[in-house]
Structure 1
Amino acid sequence: MRTRTIGLLNRRYLPRWAVLMLDIIICLISVGFTYLILEGTPLKFQTVWPFSLRTLFVLGTNAIFFYIFRTYSGIVRHSTFTDIFRVAAASFLTGITVVLFNTVYYLFEGEKIFLTTGVLLYMFFSFTLMLFLRIAVKEAYQYIRRMNIGKVKKRVLIVGMDNQTINLGRALTSESDQAFQLVGFITEDFTNKSLNVLGKPVFLTSITKDSIEFAFLLEKHRIDGVLMVRDSLSVAETNEIVEACLANKIQVFNMPSVENWNQQQNLQTQIKHIEIEDLLDRYPIEIDSAIIKNDLEDKTILVTGGAGSIGSEIVRQLALFNPRKIVVLDNAESPLYEMELYLGNTFPDLEFSTILADVRNIDRLEMIFAKFKFDLVFHAAAYKHVPLIEKNPYEAVGVNILGTVNLANLAVQHGIDKFVMISTDKAVNPTNVMGASKRAAEMYVQSLQEKIGTHTRFITTRFGNVLGSNGSVIPHFRKQIEAGGPVTVTHKDIIRYFMTIPEACQLVLQAGTMGKGGEIYVFDMGKPVRILDMAERMIKLSGFQPYKDIDIQFTGLRPGEKLYEELLSDTAQSLPTFHSKIMVSKIPAEDFYAVNEKIQAIIKATQQNSRMEVVLKIKELVPEFISQNSEFQHLDLQHQN
């Protein structure tokens, strides 16, 4: 039965011609009713026209008014007062038109074609039957929908007792077609004396993993899930509630705060499963907007890699500080076009340009720098996927090293005030080509800063993995879970630092205001996360049991992959800044000419057909680069000898 009712609900509405035909059939039935009722009375039908012609005239007149008032344009199951008015108008004017025609014919011919009583009866029957059809279809649809929704409604408790949760409860109880049935409220605030809110009970109990009382409550009231307003809870509180719910095998749903509700969307679409991102130990980042605005306002700014995960967010945040112009440069055509559409729609007053170009092409970059006269450069263009770059070291040199060299040299030549480079924690004691190539880029801009005659301030920012970036682990796990598994983890002990993209970019802008030139700023990434724990939690949050419903498989560390990442090298010292989340790494700059000579040797090696030679030259520049789980490991022994 449930499958059939869902099928009825999901069917498209009848085409307009079908609704029109139904109404005409009703009109034909009304003619029949009128004839049957009057046939046995003293009233006699006129015989000037045959019955078939009279019927055709009435139906044709009615059809004309159906067309004029478009009575067939509405969806029958969603009929409104306007739809009923159209039907009434069509029926009434049909009757008036037939009576007027009858009167005029009588004045000229002395005979009547239609019996006036019959016309009035027809008008009454046709309108009544068409009205009944619409009401019956609408009520039947609503009944089936309520019956169907009633079967699949999730019985939920709302966590907490405040204005936010009460408003959410009011919304759930006032809209009968919601997929959630509110059973009551649950709170740990034992000072709360309310026993009933919105006609629903308030349960006073602690929400913990080991709470017997909480488990009993869930079982007694057959609770399917818990609904929380995430914005009103801390990360620790959210985690505790989620752990308690997962231990009792019920679902956890998240709802934005009332002020963040999208009034254009149905409430039900805004209630979502809690996501793993909501459970990571992240805290709000505060930035000094006044200092950042002073640094960026009325400036012409270049963002390389501006259509990527980090670059696009930097562009979005830059747009809030009233720059003179933003130039978005990327070599990915489709994402760049999407960025152009986004900026045009979201920031209609922003002056911007999108440029399809490659940072390896020095001639193209020279034309761009000459044209726009940049004040600042945010360099986010890079190849970042460790296993892929391990197999393609030529590309790492081309984009991560040569691209940075090209941009840095042009920044100096054109007297650009500030150059902010986005680096990575994988540049610390690198074990892979990607991390080593980023460390080489760091070394170049640091050494260039010390070169006599350099007025551009080079600032490097270094952070770990960002949540939700292209190709990152969380979207990857999510796709694997949606496909039914297995979820693949490289190693049971692997850990990573995580930060949201907006957080990282806020700190990039803040660090950009601090730099005097040559610094490497390191961000506080919070606590590291064990990837296996994350995978297990994501499976549970999706309503499955790890290893039972969805398996987790260990695939082994990928080429160049570390078990854990570092933000500072063993020998580097870090000093605090005025921002609690930003530290400055005291890594001494090396001689520019020595660094440049080795980088040129690396670039030259890419012109040969030898990946080993390319990686060997990188190791000569970056001595702490020790390959792990890689075909390049034997080069470390060769380099040591």
Structure 2
Amino acid sequence: MFKSILDNKIYNGDNVIGITDIKYLPRWVVLIIDVLFLIISILLTFFVVFKLKAKPYDVINSFQASSIAIIVNVFFMYVFKTYAGVIRHSTFVDLLKILLASFCTLAVLFLINSAFLIIDNEKAFLNSFIILYFLFSSMFLFTFRLVVKEIFHYAREISRSGMKKRIMVLGVDEQSVAIARAILDNPKLPYQITNFISFNEKLGNVSAKILGKTILSKSKFIKKDKSELDIEGVILIKESLTKEELDEWIGILLEKDIKILKAPSVQKLRSTDNANFIKAVQIEDLLNRKPIKLNDEEVKKRHFNKEVLITGGAGSIGSEIINQVSKFNPSLVVVVDQAETPLYEVELSLRERFPHVNFKFVLADVSNVKRIEPLFKKHSFSMVYHAAAYKHVPLVEGNPQEAVRVNIMGSKNLATLSSKYEVNRFVMVSTDKAVNPTNVMGATKRVAELFVQSLQGLPENKTKFITTRFGNVLGSNGSVIPHFKKQIEKGGPITITHPDIVRYFMTIPEACELVLHAGTMGNGGEIYVFDMGEPVKILDLATRMIKLSGFEPETDIKIIYTGLRPGEKLYEELLSDDTKTLPTDHDKILISKDPVMKFEEINELLQVMLKSLETDTKFEIVGRIKQIVKEFKSNNSEYESLDK
């Protein structure tokens, strides 16, 4: 090992070998060093015995006594493998092994004494010799390991000090200490821990230390500025903090212009092989809530060894639904999307992550029933997840024909085929923009909701139709957070439509968990809405993102207001005004009792709309949508004239 390091240093032109470059000593070298310490212990024992003027027994000579003691000791060192551990990482277990080997040696030497006493009526060893040898040998072996461990620790600290970023650890609980120890033991990480920050004021005001690092109280930390603290960042464990504590500390650290780092919980750290487990806090971390708890057994039952169809599989929601469904070992997952390159990328990713799952990727448009129906004829789908839709409000506002074709006709095709081929459950992904819609996108999704619900009441229908409504998902294609990130990377400005605009947010995994769970708990005809907590002001979101990126709002990155886009409103609702809600077995999930339409009524209106789709102007198309969705009132749009 040392030779390979030496050769590597020479041939790389670096003639400096640091002590931390030496990985570990071979076991036989450690054993030889231990034996040398045993010899030193024997010599020291004899020196003390002679100084005490104790007269040795004549049964065996000093050389024989020394040889017996060392041989017995080495035997037990072999039994307990005291030489097997890496010295610099010695733990209590390693020290316990040494103690056990020494105790066993002590016991055997006393037994030999007893045997000689029975046979020759005289002991082989002085009792003082045995006890002193036990004390000296244990002490030297202990000290050797502790000294080596400390030498490597200090050498590592010295080597780090010039290159590593100085950081503090928030908290003094077991999780925080374990993460700190993982950082200290990983020389590849570019961080040097200087202090712990304690929530306990008393603990922070005494001269207490953890892992050799001083503890600083919260009040002392707050009083000092960044230069006095002499650090670049603070590392925190999100799972150890409440939402209020997290928000408070984020505010404190952003105010001091200190970088905020996050580490996983100890449980997650143990289950990952990633050495670079320290990450910068993202805005998503501040908006994330505890995800809902799923009944995994029920979800598994619905998907295990079943055939599943997922539309919009190349999108943010669709691809995550596939990830979650694949964990339950379905017999087949058919993925449909019309976007060629994203679908191909999703295919490569899924086949790598789930090599045991049978996938089929279909490049098709859900509005083309001739491409979709053969899939239902060939496969016996148990679940259909319909996530395919046009969703970008301004783009859809200018192209209502395409919104009707994909969002309405596509949903009609999928739902009708699901009923015709007796699919067990059909789950449609909808949006909060379908509630009291002010834009074409939201209105077309509301029409799709009404049609899907109407199928539930047909006498011949055996499929359970379920709808789920979401707010904005963090990190989805085209969503506000990735857009702001790109603007910050370019140096700004960040563009916001209105200073008072607010939105609800949820994570993609959280949204998809709701989709899967709704599919298991629905009886058919329900619209499920999620308690998404408090809405987020987009201006506050942008300000925090700028600060998390290390910049100052308005100084480094400008914020400009562009005005509400066509069809956009200041806030979104999850429930319509005349809606009643019913609880479910999850306190975060509610059933929205929206007004419904009979199948005959909405089907007739849709047939007229779809027949004239190619010939109608966009104003005529939007007028037909308004005829179905009475509460659809255009806002900041050219279609406002249709409402007068």
TM value normalised by structure 2: 0.74
Letter of the aligned partner of 2:444 in structure 1?
A: S
Runs of 4 or more above 6 Å deviation: 145-149, 262-266
Letter matched to residue 224 of structure 1: E
Give, in angstroms, the shift of residue 571 of structure 1.
Answer: 0.6
CA offsets 1:564-616 (integer angstroms, 9 cap, x no match): 00011001111111111111111232121110111122223321151111111
Residue pair 2:382, 2:423 contacting (<8 A) in 1 also? yes
Please state whether the residue corresponding to 1:253 is helix, strand or coil. Answer: strand
2:174 counterpart letter in structure 1? N
Report if the CA contact (8 A) 1:401-1:437 is conserved. Answer: yes
Pick one of 464, 467, 472 that aligns with 1:465: 472
Structure 1 letter corresponding to 2:582:
L
Aligned equivalent of 2:565: 558
2:176 to 162, 165, 170: 165
Look up the match of 1:377. 384
Paired residue for 1:585?
Answer: 592
Q: Which amino acid aligns with 1:254?
A: K
Structure 1 position 449, deviation (Å): 1.6
* Other-structure match for 1:397: 404
Per mean C-alpha deviation after superposition, the further-off stretch among 290-299 and 394-403 is 290-299
Are the structure 2 counterparts of residues 260 and 617 from structure 1 closer, same or farther at C-alpha, using a change threshold of 3 Å?
Answer: same
Describe the shift of the 1:178–1:582 C-alpha distance in structure 2 as closer, same or farther (beyond 3 A): closer
Deviation at 1:515, TM superposition (A): 1.6
What is the CA–CA distance in structure 2 between the aligned matches of 1:174 and 1:293, rounded to whole Å? 40
After superposition, give the CA deviation of every residue in 1:386-428 in whole Å (9 maximum; x if it has no partner).
Answer: 1110011111011100001111111121111211111010000
Amino acid at match of 1:370: K
2:15 matched residue in structure 1: 136
Partner of 2:551: 544
Match of 1:443 among 447, 450, 457: 450
Of the three residues 242, 253, 259, the one matched with 1:251 is 259
CA shift digits 1:331-354 (9 cap, x unpaired): 111222222222222122212211
Q: Tell me which residue corresponds to 1:29.
A: none
What is the alpha-carbon distance in structure 2 between the residues aligned to residue 83 and residue 255 of structure 1? 32
In structure 2, the partner of 1:503 is 510
Shift of 1:297: 2.3
Aligned residues: 508
Amino acid of the structure 2 residue aligned with 1:628: N
Q: CA deviation at 1:196?
A: 1.1
Aligned partner (choices 207, 215, 230) of residue 222 of structure 1? 230
In the TM superposition, residue 478 of structure 1 has moved relative to its aligned partner by 0.9
Offset of residue 382 of structure 1? 0.5
CA–CA distance in structure 2, aligned partners of residues 132 and 408 of structure 1: 68
**Compared with structure 1, are the counterparts of its residues 177 and 564 closer, same or farther at alpha carbon in structure 2 (3 Å cutoff)?**
same
Letter in 2 for 1:437: T
Q: 1:215-261 deviations in whole A, cap 9, x for unaligned?
A: 32754332322111223222222111111111222221112223434
Q: Please say if residues 155 and 180 of structure 1, whose CA atoms lie closer than 8 Å, have aligned partners that are also in contact.
A: yes
Which 10-residue stretch deviates more, 302-311 or 594-603? 594-603
Report what 1:181 is aligned to.
Answer: 192
Output the amino acid matched with 2:389: A
SS of 1:585's equivalent in the other structure is: strand
Alpha-carbon distance in structure 2 between the residues aligned to 1:394 and 1:509: 31
Shift in alpha-carbon separation, 1:131–1:533, aligned structure 2, 3 A: closer
Compared CA separation, residues 172 and 324, structure 1 to 2 (3 A): closer
For the residue of structure 2 that corresponds to 1:375, the secondary structure is: strand
Residue identity matched to 1:412:
S
1:299-330 deviations in Å (ceiling 9; x for gaps) = 21101111211111111111122322211111
Secondary structure of the structure 1 residue equivalent to 2:460: coil
Counterpart mapping for 1:385-534 below 5 A:
385-534=392-541
Distance 2:389 2:470 in 1: 14
- Separation in structure 2 between the aligned mates of residue 132 and residue 502 of structure 1, nearest angstrom: 49
Q: Aligned AA for 1:447? A: S
Structure 2 CA distance for aligned equivalents of residues 138 and 359 of structure 1 = 64
Mapped partners of 2:516, 2:365: distance in 1: 24
**TM-score of the aligned structures, taking structure 1 as reference length:** 0.75
Change beyond 3 A, Cα 1:194–1:306: farther
> How many angstroms does 1:132 deviate by?
9.2
- Percent of aligned pairs sharing the same letter: 51
Tell me if the contact between 2:504 and 2:532 (Cα under 8 Å) persists in the aligned partners. Answer: yes
- 2:603 pairs with 1:596: yes
Q: CA deviation at 1:525?
A: 1.1
Offset, 1:265: 6.9
Cα distance in 2 between the residues matched to 1:474 and 1:131: 49
| Counterpart check, 1:205 vs 2:218 | yes
Task: State yes or no: 1:535 paired with 2:542.
Answer: yes
Opposite residue 500 of structure 2, the aligned amino acid is D
Distance in 2 (alpha carbons) for counterparts of 1:261 and 1:550: 35
Shift of the 189–581 alpha-carbon distance from structure 1 to 2, 3 Å rule, reads same
Distance 1:315 1:633, change over 3 A: same
Read off the aligned partner of 1:250 and give its amino acid letter.
I
Distance 1:217 1:377, change over 3 A: same
Structure 2 CA distance for aligned equivalents of residues 251 and 550 of structure 1: 18
Amino acid aligned to 1:136? N
CA distance in 1 between counterparts of 2:337 and 2:11 reads 62
Q: Secondary structure at the match of 2:500?
A: coil
Distance 1:340 1:348 in 2: 11
C-alpha distance after superposition, 1:63-95 (max 9, x if no partner): xxxxxxxxxxxxxxxx96237569xxxxxxxxx
Q: What is the distance in 2 between the residues matched to 1:195 and 1:402? A: 69
Q: Which secondary structure state, in structure 2, belongs to the residue aligned with residue 434 of structure 1? A: helix
**Which of residues 224, 244, 249 in structure 2 aligns to 1:241?**
249
1:542–1:453: structure 2 CA closer, same or farther, 3 Å change rule? same
Cα separation, 1, equivalents of 2:397 and 2:250: 39
Letter in 1 for 2:194: V
SS of aligned partner of 1:437: helix
C-alpha distance in structure 1 between counterparts of 2:182 and 2:295, whole Å: 38
Distance 1:422 1:266, change over 3 A: closer
- Equivalent position to 1:348, from 338, 350, 355: 355
Instruction: In structure 2, give the amino acid aligned to 1:546.
Output: P
Q: Does the 8 Å contact 1:521/1:582 carry over to 2?
A: yes
Look up the SS of the partner of 2:327 in the other structure: helix
- Once the two structures are TM-superposed, the CA of residue 134 in structure 1 deviates from its matched residue by 4.6
2:3 — aligned with what?
Answer: 81
Contact 1:450 1:589 in 2 (8 A): no
Q: CA deviation at 1:562?
A: 0.9
Deviations 1:173-228 (A, max 9, x none): 4455643232111111246477112221111224xxxxx75232754332322111
Aligned to 1:104: none
Q: Give the deviation of 1:170 after TM superposition.
A: 2.8
What letter is aligned with 1:500? T
In structure 1, what is the equivalent of residue 98 of structure 2? none
Deviations 1:131-155 (A, max 9, x none): 598552767xx9xx99997566432
CA distance in 2, matches of 1:451, 1:332: 34
Unpaired runs of 5+ residues, structure 2, are 22-155
Corresponding residue number in structure 1 for 2:209: 196
> Structure 1 residues 503, 178: closer, same or farther in 2, change over 3 A?
closer
The 3 A distance-change label for structure 1 pair 588 and 80 is same
